[in-house]
């Protein structure tokens, strides 16, 4: 398989960080990376140019990492909360997506590209979650996210749990009534002389 050496101009998770020199499939470089401006060919003829560009890219990457680390520290205490319509068991009628999270962060003053929000699947149940926000290739922030049903309920009880609870409560009430009736019956028996009189037969 033919390969070619390139200088990455942007961070690419599957390849490396900005300023790194890597080998990739020739077709991938020719058809995607080079036309998109994501990389530059590294050949013997442009070694000097590549080294200069690499130094500039590494400097830029270091500055961006420092900025990301400062932003992470600034956002360290941030928490997000969402209210959604939900059915029994806390299943949402809609969902909470990376776009929702990006908009919630924007409302708090943080412009974060939704592509930097690591959310494999949309949130579809009430509960507490941790969503990763990739501020930089090497800097990730964990954001606590709480999703409640409208009205502030974290999650409605599961139907089976409700049934068990209702059954337990009814049994407790029945036992209490029985316990109250037994002493009363005993008292009535003791007070009624007819009950204590021997039978004529």
Contact between 117 and 131 under an 8 Å Cβ cutoff? The reply is: yes
Residue 117 shares a structural domain with residue 145: yes
Q: What is the CATH number of the domain that holds 47?
A: 3.40.5.10
Asked if the structure places residue 167 within a domain, the reply is no
Tell me the C-alpha distance between 22 and 6, whole Å.
6
Asked if the structure places residue 66 within a domain, the reply is yes
Listed residues 105, 122, 149: the one ending a domain: 149
User: For every one of its 201 residues, what pLDDT tens digit does the chain have, with 9 covering 90 and above?
Assistant: 789 999 998 888 888 888 889 999 999 999 999 999 999 998 888 888 888 988 998 899 899 999 999 999 999 899 999 999 998 888 898 899 999 999 999 999 999 998 999 998 999 999 999 999 999 888 999 999 999 998 755 544 444 433 433 344 444 444 444 444 444 444 444 444 444 444 443
Tell me the C-alpha distance between 153 and 87, whole Å.
11
Q: What is the CATH number of the domain that holds 112?
A: 3.10.430.100
Q: Domain count of the chain? A: 2
pTM above 0.85, yes or no: no
Question: Which range marks the domain in which residue 8 is found?
Answer: 3-70
């Amino acid at each position: 398989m033919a390969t070619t050496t390139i200088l990455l101009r942007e961070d690419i998770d599957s390849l490396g960080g900005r300023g790194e020199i890597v080998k990739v499939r020739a077709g991938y470089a020719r058809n995607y990376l080079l036309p998109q401006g994501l990389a530059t060919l590294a050949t013997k003829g442009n070694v000097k140019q590549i080294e200069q560009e690499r130094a500039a890219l590494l400097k830029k990457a270091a500055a961006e990492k420092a900025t990301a680390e400062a932003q992470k520290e600034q956002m360290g205490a941030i928490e997000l909360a969402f209210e959604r319509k939900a059915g029994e068991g806390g299943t949402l009628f809609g969902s909470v997506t990376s776009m929702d999270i990006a908009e919630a962060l924007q409302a708090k003053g943080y412009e974060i590209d939704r592509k930097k929000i690591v959310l494999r699947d949309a949130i579809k149940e009430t509960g507490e979650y941790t969503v990763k926000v990739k501020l930089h290739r090497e800097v990730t922030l964990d954001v606590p996210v709480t999703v409640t049903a409208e009205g502030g309920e974290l999650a409605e009880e599961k139907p089976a749990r409700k049934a068990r609870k209702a059954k337990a409560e009814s049994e407790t009430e029945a036992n209490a009534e029985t316990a109250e009736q037994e002493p009363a019956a005993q008292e009535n028996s003791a007070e009624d002389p007819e009950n204590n009189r021997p039978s004529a037969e």
